[in-house]
Structure 1
């Protein structure tokens, strides 16, 4: 690739487009309607780290940290790092059981509306055909354009293709391999798999030293190449792009990408963390966490089916599917989307545990999806005693919801009240809809329950809207459909 020519092309696209690379112009961004209606997407962490399937998707970094768990495991399993380094996993990454159509069918059954594969993780291996580097899945390993195959299969199932880039952290991700005799040796040049392997920032000062201009331009080129070739409708950026050195490049990319969306006639969006983007210029993402209250702005949480890792590792600690369903309802009621990660094995097969969780979610959405898809928030997100711990990395503990925990979504004149834990006696009291409620003083015309044919007996008192069912028993959330007047 002629890098200077490509950078010039990026600049020309911005010059002729309506979005410019400044915060004032980028603040005109509007969250796409299709994205706000979709509510539920699938994240995919799949790459070279799926071969060792040990520790986590950070294996490429941790295996070079002397005396770490991954370092010792690597020596015991594969030998010394000088003889078998991370690059030697490339021929072992065969993807011989990968079938994009099977993935698409499963994600469709799960009720997902968009899918976001990690196009490049911190390890620097591209999961797509690239002109930037030969260290990609088309030129090496499986020798297939994996992202391209996904795009075709997802398009056929009307699943929106999105993409994630975690390239930013590659600036320092492989650096510990320089501290002892390993396969990471100087000189490293642009285009090398391990380049640049710069010193890792001290945890007391995560933003020093700054990445070089050469690395930042390479980041921009790689990211724009994904946009140009695969036309993802959302681009997700992981941690460390909030570094001040990235700011000019983040603005350049956003202007380029938003202008490209206008050229395609399809609105696009960017997901970001940690104030990498100016508020209002993209969609904020909360990693492995939620908000305690309804937000007036649109947001997303990304989490995984496993508590311990994003990628497949042997012995993953899986969440219960009902736990994820309850979180989905809570997130949507607070004006957000859920991006749920699965971790395929190195051969491209999806573990049975991941598959079953997705099918369980899909079964619930098949019966109750009208309360989720195309919905919006109500005056309040819900009621009940369970307090949500707000912020990132708060999903390690299972939330202890009760039958009093209810979440609301709205579609036109229909209010959906989802009871997160259905009571055995079938009696539900919605205090927010009592007769003199300041949340809703209008009339209730009709009440039904999704997925069940049973009639709902109800009365509205000064204490609550009392709902009574006789035979409904459910281990998953139950949705009442309340028609307002």
Structure 2
């Protein structure tokens, strides 16, 4: 750009609203963003190494009882309402306005820290909405790939406490989020991105930033990478020592990993993989973190080994039951963070996903993105409440359960409580009225035993016809179409 164009461009940045500028610069949105993210998801690792620490095993069992959690993506990307962080990444699946130079875009994006002022920040609203949804654990983004910190780290000035929100008594956002959810009885998880695209120890300004990886050869510049490892260690140490009791350290950015863990499975993801290790010294980090937080679950996503205590398939439900601890992380809308006019999934769709996930041995971590002012979208709050109404009466079939050998027959799924009670959960077609009878094969009740419908707590008539169980539903159930996303039954199995 020549001087005159630069002056015009700089003036435009100063006088334009962030949302309008984002719309011009970054065209990946709505359905396009969904497809782009789908093509670049964190794939689930297929190898699992069970923990041996008794405290971690105990914590993992407790976590598996919770079944339903909330993951909150909130950062600079909420200001323009765009895809989280990824617009900074110069890979061919990312679309930006071709008339804007890439360095100018990065400067604009990172400059959003001067505009991010969530004056209505209300973590109690978030915690209340999550509790009303029947959720029982939290994962909050303390830092995404863009490097903007939602906690008062001492390692960099690129943080929420160093901006227009800095003088607010609740400027140390993560602290107040964790406290609000603890008060509601949630298990607490800190999301932390291993890559940090704002750090000069990861993306060195000396070189271009061609993709998501560190942009220099670590083998040639070991000092710089050592600085990054210490930077990462120090930030995680702050989270583990200064923010109360932690249950989960949820590490994202699985391409930052030891070279020896890059196998054909990882290469098949299609993400660029350098020829050198991007190891951040997980043994040292884990030792420190668990000394501060005994029994801490560490979820080093996709990096199979001792620091991936549970697996994390993203935006999908696995095809079959998985015997290892696992969690599907999925969004309530089409995006992880806040995007205006996002299309939210119906409560029935979320409930059906939750039922299928739990029956296959997993947990559902549902993503919700707060608005730039610090409140949740009202439509999201309403949908969460509807999900909670179903769980309030049917939760026994979900919480504290484990997978059964036969976990599914068509649209009916099965779980088992720790005391042996078997549950059948029939997912009803969305928008349809309750039928007079339901049938499934397998998982038959003991002969002469009673079956209870959790929806009203009353026993229902059932018969076994060959291999099929036929259940007669009471006429007192509402015939309003869509009144029940699913019906759950409790019984003692043969």
TM-score category by the smaller chain?
0.7 to 0.9
> Does 2:183 align with 1:169?
no
**Worse-superposed segment, 146-155 or 213-222:** 213-222
- 8 A contact 2:403–2:415 mirrored in 1: yes
Which of these residues, 164, 167, 178, is aligned with residue 151 of structure 1?
178
Quote the residue 2:229 is aligned against. Answer: 216
Partner secondary structure for residue 232 of structure 1: coil
> Does 2:478 align with 1:463?
no
> Does 2:263 align with 1:237?
no
CA distance in 1, matches of 2:237, 2:100: 35
CA distance in 2, matches of 1:214, 1:414: 54
Which digits, 9 at most, give the CA deviation of each residue in 1:26-56, with x for residues without a partner? 64452523211111110001111100113x1
- 8 A contact 1:367–1:451 mirrored in 2: yes
Q: TM-score, normalised by structure 1?
A: 0.75
- 8 A contact 1:60–1:123 mirrored in 2: no
Quote the residue 1:356 is aligned against. Answer: 382
- 8 A contact 1:312–1:343 mirrored in 2: yes
Q: Any stretches of 5+ residues in structure 1 without a counterpart?
A: 1-22, 175-187, 385-403, 435-439
Partner secondary structure for residue 158 of structure 2: coil
- 8 A contact 2:439–2:471 mirrored in 1: yes
CA displacement at 1:410 relative to structure 2: 2.9
- 8 A contact 2:300–2:307 mirrored in 1: no
Q: TM-score, normalised by structure 2?
A: 0.74
CA distance in 1, matches of 2:216, 2:448: 59
Partner secondary structure for residue 287 of structure 2: helix
**Worse-superposed segment, 92-101 or 219-228:** 219-228
Partner secondary structure for residue 115 of structure 1: strand
- 8 A contact 1:50–1:344 mirrored in 2: yes
**CA distance 1:424–1:229, shift in 2 (3 Å):** same
CA distance in 2, matches of 1:366, 1:324: 15
CA displacement at 1:463 relative to structure 2: 2.5
Partner secondary structure for residue 241 of structure 1: coil
| 1:181-196 to 2 correspondences below 5 Å | 189=200
**Worse-superposed segment, 102-111 or 315-324:** 315-324
> Does 2:173 align with 1:160?
no
**CA distance 1:293–1:197, shift in 2 (3 Å):** farther
| 1:57-456 to 2 correspondences below 5 Å | 57-58=84-85, 60-61=87-88, 69-71=95-97, 81=104, 85-143=108-166, 144-166=171-193, 168-170=194-196, 173=197, 189=200, 199-200=208-209, 209-210=217-218, 212-230=225-243, 231-239=245-253, 240-244=255-259, 245-247=277-279, 249-262=281-294, 267-274=295-302, 276-278=303-305, 282-307=309-334, 309-384=335-410, 404-421=411-428, 424-434=434-444, 442-443=446-447, 445-452=449-456, 455-456=459-460
Query: What count of residue pairs does the alignment treat as equivalent?
Result: 408
Partner secondary structure for residue 271 of structure 1: strand
**CA distance 1:141–1:34, shift in 2 (3 Å):** farther
CA distance in 2, matches of 1:109, 1:407: 24
Q: Any stretches of 5+ residues in structure 2 without a counterpart?
A: 1-47, 219-223, 260-276
